[in-house]
Structure 1
């Protein structure tokens, strides 16, 4: 038990302390008992710090883990971080530039640069894990993995070698998306198509026989230097006679054929298109069908290479474009230039225009893997939540291309393939194994031969075996998603049998659920499904809960360039305005954006960001976690849920004060008062709803249910309704109420714990001993079940208490409208009503008198004239508060006259509007206006009746 509860809610005083206690006690480790429940953390990249997207997903995962841990499951939350090849190289290279000592990636060399990256990883990885702890992440840190750790590296090598041995990995020269700044291949999913203004140039290609020209339109005239053909549709009668002839490729000394292919759209442009197989993905497929040559005219930096005419060699692609257009115009071959909107592919890391580029890469053949991955989802072995996301998954899986897995980087898993001097390669688990394979091939069948390109070669001199064979390891690395695709089973020790036993491979695979964003369904989710199935025969997880993306309060994507990024730790611990501005404007790609970002930040956060605590942020996230695509984060919601935590704190203080020295009996309270029976039935209902919402991943509905029960029903109503019993003369009712208020509060804290673990632990440590509970932590206590509460039928008590609540609300509203101070006693006159009203008024007379500060409750006789009074109505019952001595009657008459005039005017407007409606007005609109008229009429009648009494 902690020291006495502090007088006010201050999360900084206990959140860090409690987390340290939880972790040191080992509460986050799997228990080894009960049914397994496993969650895989999508490993954050070691490229900086956690962002709001991480905070969002980590909160939901932690809630699921804590919930199942409390339900007795053997919970494992497998945490870790990802090496993030491209992103990390960019960050470290940028840091080197900022250091200003002239060091660069290339000047350091591969070994030196990798050492710098490991230094960065140690710093960034520690920061990320520290931030996750601050959020309350209850993962098993003793099992934390990094995708470049030795066990992960062994898994990557084994997977690569096995796939190659099975014929599913091959090396070939194909078109890939190429980033000329990073000088590496990138995935289709790392390319953003951006609409921008450009031009469409029409160019005349002279027929070789001099009989005319064919006009072709293009947005990339520089690629014409690599044209291999012109194409027309086979059914296009305009050009049928030209198929098989040749044209002179402008600005070159080459002739290229005119071919027919159904790829061409006859109605688009002139119906003639240029085919450049080495620089366009669609053209590449046409080139394969027609056996056209692949003519690459670009260098890795997107300059013109030696395959082009001499006058363009070495020029940047855009400078070459200018020269080519000028030369075409000089020769009279530039037919037309017109503005054109076009989709430009850009790398999501560098923002540079991506080129389709012909290069040697490693690929995974996806046909069989994709067929299995699609079947597992269609058969229900993997379930998507919400269910509509399976359509996105299916679309990608039904349109799979072979997966380019090599990257021209230094940071990452180096490809386990070694090349001899002739370009033959040997895929092996070790260099020794590669030499053995090379030696075995001498005099026999040779290994596959690589096309020696930019990615083949060595930084250090190759080693030589005793047989004279010299091998060099491919210095390309595997793309990050390859190692991440193995995450479900590499973290379980695969392929090492001993490690698999130690880490519970058979127990914790498949996982229970993966919580992730829709933007990486194919990047990561699909690849984990395919690779886990292929190597283990299991699915990686049974459910995939797809979350929306966190955006700012206006629905804008959070980004550094927009200056609208929120750091979850700033919301938790607070940050000054000046520090927030500095954080948002440091390291901008466009420093000129800084003034605009500073101005917007000062407008949105004039006083900086106040400390809200981790619990308030977590509850905000849960409340926002609907099943939509985008989620707007509003700081006002966080402030509201900070108030919620404060409300819970103050309610607990009230309970502790009123149960001091009370020895609660064991078990469910034997409720005496109707208020107790009502709150126990509401507790049972909230508990049942919580279970339903967890099962359906509706965290927003879960938060709503628990908020309403905690704030409205427990704190506002039950604590208020308990006061008459706690302060009355009925000892049995008082003791029963003390037991119930402790019992319900303790259950409420357990209900809330997965969402707000810190404040519930701190409060529970004070409440639990009052109920005789001797346990070190709430986090290992059973999660409440609906069957725990309200074993008896409390339906009628619930109905009666709702009547009491309506009475209290109605009278308090009257007092508030009259401006009567809470401490002043008033008379209550009751009129009309039915037999049940009389029965309940008599039964709850003492509660009403206590709660409403009544000096008397009197029933008016039938037809008895009531004095001038303020009125509230509960069903058929009128509640009258005589005004004599309470208010200035002249002032009240004046107020009523003004209100009568206003309502009468609104009634007249409504009557006039109904009189002007024509037959064309929709019935729904007419019905709505009729209802408004009825409402205004009822208000006016009530006001006039009240005025008549004055």
Structure 2
């Protein structure tokens, strides 16, 4: 017997272990079934489960479980990313506790320590994914630094270099002066800083007493200025283009150039140009032929390229000194308070320095062209489609991709340097030595490049390197290209685009047919979750409190395309209640003898109510399947919820109570078998979203089944067998009872009140249905009687239309209708006033410009809620004939 209470913690560990041990998650390369593949976005090996993970891995698992049940050979390829900087920082912090640095250990010993850490502590995220119920093929788990993937990385680097698509160049990078490495844009976070805008006057050469004023937020970089830009059409400065200023404190002559980067409407209209320390200035410098002078070292201290008094100063110390000396020279025009966004390293927390340095680059523009074509031609499609525009925008304006990092943990670049700095890029040191000997005419000493590759470089190969490439394995032939990539919009550029480029270049085909982009999980007010705000919700806490299925169902039900999820704990609690409802329904069925009948097929049914539910479950299954196929997870979850809680529990189980307690044994047997069959269908349909409770009930309802639910086939639609007429009939009963309940609720009719219901102008079919189902309608509508109306509509009655008939509920002596009209009118007016206020706010351009995104969203939500309530009350007022 099913226990009274469902206890998730007691069943989740058991079922996961049994699934994994039985090989239920495994793909079968030799299978006849059509392959279906999802590549798991590899979480960082340092990571732990957060709400974004919970969303993306839940949605992927829904797709995998569903397609597995559809008979496909489903491969969900798992793995983790070595997360270069993050992992190195973790291990360095651990060493620091013992007063040791990586430099004390040396490179090889430090890397050995990282592998030790990975073996002991690197599995946290995969253990937590198991708690979430994720069902990837764990036997195929890969790691971006494992031997096979490392070989793929080296081969790709060498081939791209030999094809001229990887090269060394001196360009600006995001430099982290604490970690001493270049970092990607994804590892940079913009922070709002309240600073100052300093206005300096630069003297025009040869024009005594004439100056040009420039404004800067970084006075220290003026020591590296190599030009001043003005707009070519700015009448104030046209005569100065081609002339020079004398750079204060340095004495260097620098040209005044015409460039459209200078905005005449901003500040003085003139901007200082420091090509070695600003990304925009770097581009202006290239266009105008300006020198790039690097004035900082790797610690963001000023180097020997500046006057002696500034050498060795920290950038912020240098800032104070520059301002003081400019002021002493009388060249400080003014200082204004200025709030602006400053890039910071997400790991180190310090301001990033644009720094001119030698790095390795990929010619991304060349690789991007076929990747753009693939989406334009529809070989890969984005869902929702509007994300294609984001993809195009970035790919069509793509910059060279800096792939080198100045850290130790990662794939070391396969380049070796000779005595004169010439380098040799080969797959092995032996091959490099041979190439060097051929170049120099003799064997020479070689030194390997100390840099490692950007983590995104190895993860760009993930869709094919995990399947064994460069070996031509059966897995590669079967599972590439993959079916769908499920990911967040924030890594379209960093990961999706790069996988497209690499997949097409090395495999000759796109890496995935569909890219499903899900939204962000925010807090219930629509704010982004962050530790500083204290609004982070830990998915593991929710799992512990409400069970895994409740969290998975919540995330699925809220995953509407293109809309961020506003997660409230109350929603998870609500779906925990749904799990409880399902559990109690199964218990009720078992207690009433509704147990699965082997070989039962819902055909030839005699009871209208049974034919109706069979048709209803068929329709629900079709809606759920169509929604999952279309990546409309919210629609799938809501269809499952409405059918299970509404149609099955609230209606069918109530409708069939008289049969189960009656004396017609044939009707009883048919209804028990049908009930058990429908419950089994529900378990199938819910399983992709709620795997644990469905598996447990599957087992409890019939312990001798040949297979577990995870391996059961997705339900085939049942034949109609006269169900259409039954559905029309029972749907009429549901609508009539719902209409009565709605009128009672809107009019505040006491639950105990037994009221007479009247039907005006009913058709012959309506009268026939009424006669057949009178007892159900009376019981479930809490009615004293239900009859056709003969004569005029009584006073003090509320009315509603149902098909051709008018439903009339006389309320004389039960509800004061005049008082009810007054109450409803007052509530409607109050809501109208609130809506008017909100509309005024939302129509105010200043409010929209200044208010935070989540504040605007909250106002829109409030308006929608108020409008919905107003419309509901208006409907109630209309019923009163007001």
Q: TM-score, normalised by structure 2?
A: 0.88
> SS of the residue aligned with 1:257?
strand
**How many angstroms apart in 2 are the aligned matches of 1:179 and 1:913?**
54
Offset at residue 905 of structure 1 (A): 7.0
Q: For residues 318-353 of structure 1, give each alpha carbon's deviation from its aligned partner in whole angstroms, at most 9, with x where no partner exists.
A: 110111111112122223222233332222333322
Residue of structure 2 equivalent to 1:506: 477
Cα pair distance change 1:162/1:663, threshold 3 Å: closer
Deviates more, 1:635-644 or 1:233-242: 233-242
Residue of structure 2 equivalent to 1:197: 194
**How many angstroms apart in 2 are the aligned matches of 1:129 and 1:693?**
29
Q: For residues 528-552 of structure 1, give each alpha carbon's deviation from its aligned partner in whole angstroms, at most 9, with x where no partner exists.
A: 0000110110111000000001111
**How many angstroms apart in 1 are the aligned matches of 2:778 and 2:736?**
11
Larger Rg: 1
**How many angstroms apart in 2 are the aligned matches of 1:851 and 1:684?**
25
Offset at residue 832 of structure 1 (A): 5.6
Offset at residue 131 of structure 1 (A): 0.8
Offset at residue 932 of structure 1 (A): 7.9
Which one of the candidate residues 758, 769, 779 is aligned to 2:710? 779
1:46 and 1:125 in contact (8 A); partners too: yes
Q: For residues 93-128 of structure 1, give each alpha carbon's deviation from its aligned partner in whole angstroms, at most 9, with x where no partner exists.
A: 33444x3x3223333333333233223323443211
> SS of the residue aligned with 1:14?
helix
Offset at residue 475 of structure 1 (A): 1.1
The answer to whether 1:399 aligns with 2:397 is yes
The answer to whether 1:34 aligns with 2:9 is no
Within 5 Å, give how 1:519-538 maps onto structure 2: 519-538=490-509
Q: For residues 443-463 of structure 1, give each alpha carbon's deviation from its aligned partner in whole angstroms, at most 9, with x where no partner exists.
A: 4xxxxxxxxxxxxxxxxxxxx
Offset at residue 820 of structure 1 (A): 6.9
Offset at residue 807 of structure 1 (A): 5.4
**How many angstroms apart in 2 are the aligned matches of 1:115 and 1:121?**
10
Offset at residue 819 of structure 1 (A): 5.9
Cα pair distance change 1:874/1:721, threshold 3 Å: farther
Offset at residue 241 of structure 1 (A): 4.8
Cα pair distance change 1:872/1:724, threshold 3 Å: farther
**How many angstroms apart in 1 are the aligned matches of 2:665 and 2:174?**
80
Within 5 Å, give how 1:411-560 maps onto structure 2: 411-443=409-441, 469-497=444-472, 500-501=473-474, 504-560=475-531
Cα pair distance change 1:857/1:186, threshold 3 Å: closer
2:749 and 2:815 in contact (8 A); partners too: no
> SS of the residue aligned with 2:678?
helix
> SS of the residue aligned with 2:123?
helix
The answer to whether 1:364 aligns with 2:298 is no
Residue of structure 2 equivalent to 1:792: 721
**How many angstroms apart in 1 are the aligned matches of 2:776 and 2:54?**
46
> SS of the residue aligned with 1:689?
helix
Residue of structure 1 equivalent to 2:2: 5
Residue of structure 2 equivalent to 1:382: 380
Residue of structure 1 equivalent to 2:115: 118
**How many angstroms apart in 2 are the aligned matches of 1:25 and 1:905?**
63
**How many angstroms apart in 1 are the aligned matches of 2:793 and 2:436?**
112
- Say how many residue pairs are matched: 839
> SS of the residue aligned with 2:446?
strand
Which one of the candidate residues 636, 640, 654 is aligned to 1:706? 640
Which one of the candidate residues 320, 331, 334 is aligned to 2:332? 334
Which one of the candidate residues 406, 411, 433 is aligned to 1:408? 406
1:664 and 1:739 in contact (8 A); partners too: no
**How many angstroms apart in 2 are the aligned matches of 1:272 and 1:192?**
28
Residue of structure 2 equivalent to 1:588: none
Which one of the candidate residues 178, 182, 185 is aligned to 1:181? 178
Cα pair distance change 1:938/1:806, threshold 3 Å: closer
**How many angstroms apart in 2 are the aligned matches of 1:369 and 1:661?**
60
Which one of the candidate residues 212, 215, 218 is aligned to 2:216? 218
Offset at residue 432 of structure 1 (A): 1.4
**How many angstroms apart in 1 are the aligned matches of 2:279 and 2:264?**
20
> SS of the residue aligned with 1:67?
helix
1:517 and 1:546 in contact (8 A); partners too: yes
The answer to whether 1:154 aligns with 2:151 is yes
**How many angstroms apart in 2 are the aligned matches of 1:480 and 1:342?**
30
Cα pair distance change 1:727/1:815, threshold 3 Å: farther
Residue of structure 1 equivalent to 2:858: none
Deviates more, 1:805-814 or 1:178-187: 805-814
**How many angstroms apart in 1 are the aligned matches of 2:137 and 2:221?**
54
Cα pair distance change 1:862/1:208, threshold 3 Å: closer
Within 5 Å, give how 1:557-596 maps onto structure 2: 557-573=528-544
> SS of the residue aligned with 1:470?
coil
1:204 and 1:213 in contact (8 A); partners too: no
Residue of structure 2 equivalent to 1:51: 50
> SS of the residue aligned with 2:768?
helix
**How many angstroms apart in 2 are the aligned matches of 1:933 and 1:376?**
52
**How many angstroms apart in 1 are the aligned matches of 2:830 and 2:521?**
48
The answer to whether 1:145 aligns with 2:63 is no
Within 5 Å, give how 1:626-775 maps onto structure 2: 626-659=560-593, 663=597, 666-767=600-701, 774-775=705-706
Offset at residue 72 of structure 1 (A): 0.7
Offset at residue 776 of structure 1 (A): 1.7
Offset at residue 660 of structure 1 (A): 5.9
Q: For residues 219-275 of structure 1, give each alpha carbon's deviation from its aligned partner in whole angstroms, at most 9, with x where no partner exists.
A: 222112112233344455554554444332211243333444444344544443322
Structure 2 unaligned blocks of 5 or more:
833-865
> SS of the residue aligned with 1:784?
coil
**How many angstroms apart in 1 are the aligned matches of 2:298 and 2:419?**
23
Residue of structure 1 equivalent to 2:353: 355
1:193 and 1:346 in contact (8 A); partners too: yes
Within 5 Å, give how 1:72-83 maps onto structure 2: 72-83=71-82
Cα pair distance change 1:651/1:872, threshold 3 Å: farther
Query: RMSD between aligned alpha carbons?
Result: 3.4
**How many angstroms apart in 2 are the aligned matches of 1:60 and 1:906?**
43
Residue of structure 2 equivalent to 1:586: none
Residue of structure 1 equivalent to 2:90: 91
1:907 and 1:937 in contact (8 A); partners too: no
Q: For residues 155-214 of structure 1, give each alpha carbon's deviation from its aligned partner in whole angstroms, at most 9, with x where no partner exists.
A: 111100000011111012111121112221122343334443322222232344353443
Residue of structure 2 equivalent to 1:255: 253
**How many angstroms apart in 2 are the aligned matches of 1:5 and 1:203?**
80
Which one of the candidate residues 100, 104, 122 is aligned to 1:103? 100
Which one of the candidate residues 14, 37, 40 is aligned to 1:17? 14
Cα pair distance change 1:807/1:536, threshold 3 Å: closer
1:815 and 1:821 in contact (8 A); partners too: no
Which one of the candidate residues 333, 342, 345 is aligned to 1:344? 342
Residue of structure 2 equivalent to 1:587: none
Q: TM-score, normalised by structure 1?
A: 0.82
1:872 and 1:878 in contact (8 A); partners too: yes
Offset at residue 669 of structure 1 (A): 3.6
Residue of structure 1 equivalent to 2:850: none
Structure 1 unaligned blocks of 5 or more:
444-466, 574-610, 884-891, 915-924, 942-950
> SS of the residue aligned with 1:515?
strand
Deviates more, 1:370-379 or 1:391-400: 370-379
**How many angstroms apart in 1 are the aligned matches of 2:157 and 2:223?**
38
Within 5 Å, give how 1:868-907 maps onto structure 2: 875=802, 876=805, 896-897=815-816, 900-903=818-821
Offset at residue 290 of structure 1 (A): 4.1
1:619 and 1:755 in contact (8 A); partners too: yes
1:230 and 1:275 in contact (8 A); partners too: yes
The answer to whether 1:939 aligns with 2:870 is no
Cα pair distance change 1:774/1:858, threshold 3 Å: closer
Offset at residue 136 of structure 1 (A): 0.8
